[in-house]
Structures are given as C-alpha cells and as structure tokens.
Structure 1
Amino acid sequence: MFDLDEENRLIRDTTRSFAEDVVMPRAAAIDEEDAFPFEIYRQMGELGLLSMTLPAAYGGSEADTLAWTIVLEELARASAAVADAHMVNKLMCDIILSEARDAVRQKYLPGMGRGDIICAIAQTEADTGSDVAAIKTTATPVDGGYRLNGTKQFITFAGICDIAVVVATVDRSLGRKGIGLFLADAHAEGFRRGAKNKIMGVRGLATGELVFEDVFVPNDHRLAEPGAGMRRSLTSLNSGRIGMAAQSVGIAQAAYEQALAFARQRHAFGGPIANLQAIQFMLADMSVGIEAGRLMTRRAAAARDAGVDVVRIVSEAKLFASEMAQRVVDDALQIHGAAGYSTETTVERLQRDVRVYKIWEGTSQIQRIVIARQLLAA
C-alpha cells in the first residue's frame, strides 16, 4: 500500500544523499556545540526542502504530507536537531498560509522557504504544555492591534527567530474561547529573548525563553481570532504528531544501523556477537518495530492528505513510533555494551535525543487519552 512512487523515491534519495553528505558529518558537532546550524538550514532552503509543501505562488513545490514524512525520516536518521528545525518551519508555514492575509504571506513565506526567515511557535509556558487552554500570555486589544504580555518556555528557535507565532488569550476567564494566534516581529519593542534552555538532547535549536512586554501586533498580523486559536493549535498538533512519528522512525533507523554494524564487528565468545541468538532476537525486534512505525506514519500522512479525520490515526502513529524508537535506541546501546555509554558513540547521542519524542507534541499519556476518547466516541 505504501510502496513509494518514482517521485517520492527521488525525494527520499535526494534527501538521503544530503543527509549523509552534509548533515551526518556535522551531527555530533551540532549536539556538542549546541549552536544552530545556519549553513545547513540555508542549504535545505537552497535544495527546496524547506519550501517543499508551500504553494508555487510562494516558491514551493506543493509536496504532500507523505513526501514530507519521507524527508523528516531521512533527516532524523542523520540529526534529530536538523529534522526538527525542518518540521517547525513547515508547521509555521502551514499556519501562516492558512490564517494570514495574502500580504503577510507574501512578506514571510518565500523567505521562510529559502531559510532566510526563521519563525518560532511560542506556545509552551512554565505551567502549561499540553493544556493549551490554560495559556496565561495575554493579547490585549488596543487601537490598531493587540499588546502581548507573557513569558514562553522551551521555545524552539527562541534565540534566533525573526518572527514568532504567539498563542495568547484575550481573556483568561474565557478558557479556550479566548485563545488567539498572533504573529509577532522579533524586532518589535518589548520582544525579548530570555534564558537559553539547557536541554539533554536535540541540541542546537536555540531553545529558550521568550518574553513579551507590551509587544504590539497590528491587526493584520492576527492569525486566528480569539476563540479560533485553540482550534488552530490543535490542528497544527495533528501535523506535528505525524512529524514526531517520522522523526522517531528516522532515529530508530539510525540506532538499528549502528547496532547492526557493531554486532557484526564486535567479537566475543569466539566470533561476532551477531552470531549470538540473544543479539539476533534484539535486531529482529528492532527491524519489526521500525517497519511497523514507518507504515503507521505513512498511513497517517496518507490519511491527512486524503482529508479524512486523522485525530486517532496520528495519535496512534506518534505514540507507537516514539515508544518504539525509545526501545530500539535502548537495545542499540545495550548491544554496544560499555562502548554505547561513551559520548564518542552515535548511540549515546541518540539516547539523549530520542527521549523527548515521548513528550513533544503531546506526551504518551496525552496520546492515550486522545485515542481512548476517539474510540469511546465512535
């Protein structure tokens, strides 16, 4: 059902070559230095990867969700940070494309597709993650627009963004009905970058705090009116969860390849440890899990492209793929033994990277709640 056609095979092969030739040699340094890879990001723009899902009118090639997941998987196989940078850009392009006026689209989307403009999503706060309705950042109506006030935490691109889609409420007492989306310029007065977050994995994304102190957002930069912001945020989560699943598969694939190569060359008990049945069973389980995760991810992508209700499907894909990837990376490190615990091995970095995929875009517990509600409502 999910055999790739010629076009998607070309996308996969092109991305794989880029990932292996450009990204992989820099992956360890990106993690160690925790510095955003601007050069690689702009190369993705030049290659058309950042603009791939945009309409032609904004410089894109109008690729579908399935093609996007193929790209994410290949990038994540090389570097989780580079893959996630690609994903955030795509999600922000989607929001601006669907919610902004054409003048705003023309102003930002071509540059985002080239990698010249970087857009963050400012949603998470110190006390709110998956509970979007509890957002405390406010957007107060004023003459000609809104004033934003609040603090966001763990924001990808916080330290480098040119613009930010800000999730804020016009009235906290309204709960989800007060939530809107606002596009803020990083050069606006009162837009401040706070502390950089020191995170365990997926380093190099300038993750940190954003502070808004009476930041003015003109009316034409309001993306979703109060009451519609919650719906739009949840819609974005559907794409984000597919992206998380695709990245998880890519990380798992990288770990499996590392484990397979190590098992063939590491000798113990008179031969390669790959000859030991215990190791063979671990490798077999890795392969099965990766194939299942890949199929679930592509099924979710195909369903989204078909326009059907994907809430349960994408949550199932994200839940399975993220937890599968954790198991695969754990087993890969176990196969490496003491060597896997060394910072000089790829699997050590993968172990730190993979852990967040059971948290991002809704924790595993949230996914189970979503899935159960969908089942019980049927």
Structure 2
Amino acid sequence: MAKTIQNTPNDDVLLKIEDLHVQYDTDDAVVHALNGFHLTLHRGEKLGLVGETGAGKTTMALSVLRLLPSRVGKVTQGSITYDGIDILHASAKTMLGLRGARISMIFQDPMTSLNPVTTVGDQILEVLKLHFPEMTEEEKNARVDDIMKMVGIPPARKHEYPHQFSGGMKQRIVIAMALIAEPELLLADEPTTALDVTIQAQILELMKQLKEKFNSAMVLITHDLGVVAEFCDNVAIVYAGEVIEYGSVEEIYARTANHPYTAGLFNCIPDLYTTAERLEPIPGFMADPTDLPQGCKFAPRCPHCTQRCLEENPALHMLGNHGIKCHMFDGKEAE
C-alpha cells in the first residue's frame, strides 16, 4: 500500500483526502477519474495542483464540495476530512453551511459562472444573504462595496449585468463572490486560463493579496508551472487521478529528483539560455480513464519503463518531505 505524507501538527491540517476513488458512469463507459488520490493541506497553505487535462484535478475540487454530477459521478472509495468534518457523510445542511462560507471555489470559466439575468451586485450579495442572515441590509451592501473595491471594480457598477463586463472583469467578480465570506479554503480552478497575460498577472497578484489578508488556504489548479513557482508554497503533480509527486516548490523545481512525468513537464518549458529547434514533448497520450494500465499509469509513456512498472503500481517513496511515486526511487527513502 502506498505511503502517505505525514504532516504535523495534526490540528494544523485543514483538508485531508485519503485513497479517494471517483468514477463517472456514462452511457458509453465507466470513467475512472480519481484512482487513490491522497492530499493533505494545512491552514494558510498555498498548494499548486498541476497536471494535464483529464488528470482529475477539477474532479478532486468538486468532490471536496460534493458537487459531482448527480447520477453520473460517484465516490467509490476513500475519505475527505475538512477540519474534522467527514465530507462524504455530512448532511446536506452541513454542506450548505460549508459551501461559500468556509470553502469557496473559483470556477474555470467566468463566462458561464455568472447568471446573465441578475446584476453582479446581487450575485455577490446572495452569499451574504445565505450565510450571514444576522447582518443588516446596510452592512451587507457595504461589504459588497468593499469587496468590489478590493478586486478593482467600482462599486457603482454593481447594478450592471455580466454581459457589460470584459472577461478579466468577470473573473474579478467571480473572485469577489468566492472571497466575500472570507473562506478558510479557496479552490481556484485555473482562474487565469481564459485571460491574457497582463490580466493574468493582475488576477494572481490580487489573489495573493486577498489570501494574505484573510489567511485562507488555497489550492491553485493550473497547467502553468511558472504560475506555481511564483504563487505557491507546495506542489502536487497529478497524473491519471493520482498524486505522483508532492513537495515544496524549492524541492521539486530544483530538479535533482523528479518523477519522469514531472521531468517531462519541465522539458516542455522553453529555456532562455539554450538554443533548440523545438521543445521536447512527453511522448504518447494521457492514460485513457476508461481503460487504465494495470501497473504504473505513466508506464506506457515513460522512458525508464521496466517490466515491474507494467505489472505493479508503485508506492509513494519519501525523500525527506518530498514524495515520488515511482519504482526508480524504491529503496532511496530518507531516514
């Protein structure tokens, strides 16, 4: 059985996911989205979740909020514990109290995350009406004005509709909705993917400032290793529904010891100091979630693949606090 990363003290752990398996039952096939997903997040921690499209990153976030598609997505094994609360067995009332108030999510596409027939001010205000009924109308409206100022939108525009805002401004509104209740955990699902480079930098700086102000823990789901290096404390590399490497930004970006998949991701990044005709892509395709390999999920694409890799799924081997799920590191655990 794979080892899990041990963190101390336990009372500092905000979110713990253990051996999580999630599948989608479709008309055509069963999609195995998460396959033994392990993750531990501490209070105030900024964690980057990196992997290709289809790796299971968004499914993990939706599982934490228990927002998997009804009658299609289901958890078949594992546990999710948030601040002592068993998420998978919590009542609907408990989950309603968590969503938006203690756990918020910035969804990937701001264009489809907002209600087109409701003003942006009312959409932000809805969070306060649901979770803070004791506040007066004046206090709620003042809070909306304050959060809009913080994300760089004049409060006078709160009576306008989503179609009157640019893509970057819509993303700021979505961030305002996610942060107005000052959540303990923010799940940011590729919050800058649809934005140009200039707006990306502004949004990330804004999220950093707001995170520091509210001391929220944050999971940043992204494809961009550069964003992770700039923004996060720790990194989890995800492949085929598993965390195959975990460690601090310094440990992973030092490139002294990496999972072959992580090394492949780094090789895809242009190097300003060397001349090359083309980048080195990772060969092959992401493992088919409807027909996963028996052993290591990355084995068919790995340049170091052995017969053992094809037959046996590796454990998570520890090099200090740096975990790598690869047979190459078998026997190299730090004492």
Pick the TM interval, shorter chain: under 0.3
More helix by share: 1
- Between 1 and 2, higher relative CO (CA 8 Å, sep ≥ 6) is seen in 2
Give the TM-score normalised by the residue count of structure 2. 0.28
